[in-house]
Amino acid sequence: MNLNRYSNMQFFSEHCWQPTHKWPAHDPLWPHLKHWLTHPGSLTEQLAKHFNSKVSVHLHRQQWLTATKEEQQYLGITPDTLTNIREITLFVRQQPCILARTVIPKETLSGNYQNLLTIKEQPLGHFLFGNANIIRLPQFELTTLKTADLPIQHDLPLPSEQVWGRRSRFLLSQKPLMITEYFLPFLLHSIENEQIGKPAASDILTTSSPSNDH
């Protein structure tokens, strides 16, 4: 996968999100990437299946903050709305695959949804999926950017490459929550290898490698 093929495109950037139908469909890898970037179910389960291995969560931070202006607009909340922000990395076999940021307005965290404040290093998908009162809105938005420009605080030793991001909204009893997920180079290279028939990362890394239990 040529991760830098869109390096000169201003259409997708850290501050420019577009719906999936505007993604460059002429890219021969798009059909395979689309399956990942628009997958409506649990990304944790999808990773576990792809690598045939356990997925672990490293919590970078979770605290009460003001969402960015762009996040406020996406969620439809006012600038004075207090939000709980959770930033994590999903690891498979000690390799970072997904960097994610969840923004939850305070008014969403009522009743049983207050449990989202204490999930710590449990996968968020275990809470969101399978609950009849929680729905994921069908429209994803996508972007690309360099690893150096990732807008989430982290200490990951990432190579200087292009990454893909997606964001989506959930309704928890009709109250909003948003998740932004960045697909990191290790995962993107594994998708490429699977697409062109090379040994995938799940084959290269031995199953005896310890998982990252942060």
Tens digits of per-residue pLDDT, 37-88?
999 999 999 999 999 999 999 999 999 999 999 999 999 999 999 999 999 9
Confidence of residue 197 (pLDDT cuts 50, 70, 90): low
Is position 8 within any domain? no
Is position 90 within any domain? yes
Is position 184 within any domain? yes
Given a cut of 60, is residue 2 above it in pLDDT?
A: no
Tell me the C-alpha distance between 98 and 71, whole Å: 19
Given a cut of 80, is residue 98 above it in pLDDT?
A: yes
- Partnered with residue 90 across adjacent β-strands are 57, 98
Q: What is the pLDDT of residue 209?
A: 39
Give 24-41 pLDDT, tens digit per residue.
676 666 777 888 999 999
Number of domains observed in the structure of the chain:
1
Q: What is the pLDDT of residue 192?
A: 83
* Token pair in block for residue 67: 């969402």
pTM of whole model > 0.95?
no
Domain housing 125: 41-156+165-198
- Do the Cβ atoms of 29 and 11 come closer than 8 Å? no
Is position 95 within any domain? yes
Confidence of residue 11 (pLDDT cuts 50, 70, 90): very low
Angle between helices 43-51 and 185-196 (to 10 degrees): 50
Is position 13 within any domain? no
Burial code (b: 16+ CB inside 10 Å, e: under 16) for 112-140 equals: ebeebeeeeeebbbebbbeeeebebeeeb
For the domain that residue 189 is a member of, what is the CATH number? 3.40.1410.10
Binding residue per annotation — 86? yes
Binding residue per annotation — 142? no
Q: What is the pLDDT of residue 31?
A: 73
Confidence of residue 208 (pLDDT cuts 50, 70, 90): very low
- Do the Cβ atoms of 180 and 25 come closer than 8 Å? no
* Token pair in block for residue 99: 């960097």
Given a cut of 70, is residue 159 above it in pLDDT?
A: yes
Binding residue per annotation — 181? yes
Is position 142 within any domain? yes
Confidence of residue 114 (pLDDT cuts 50, 70, 90): very high
The secondary structure element, H or E, covering residue 50 is: helix 43-51
Given a cut of 60, is residue 207 above it in pLDDT?
A: no
* Range in 84-93, 104-113, 195-204 the model is least confident about: 195-204
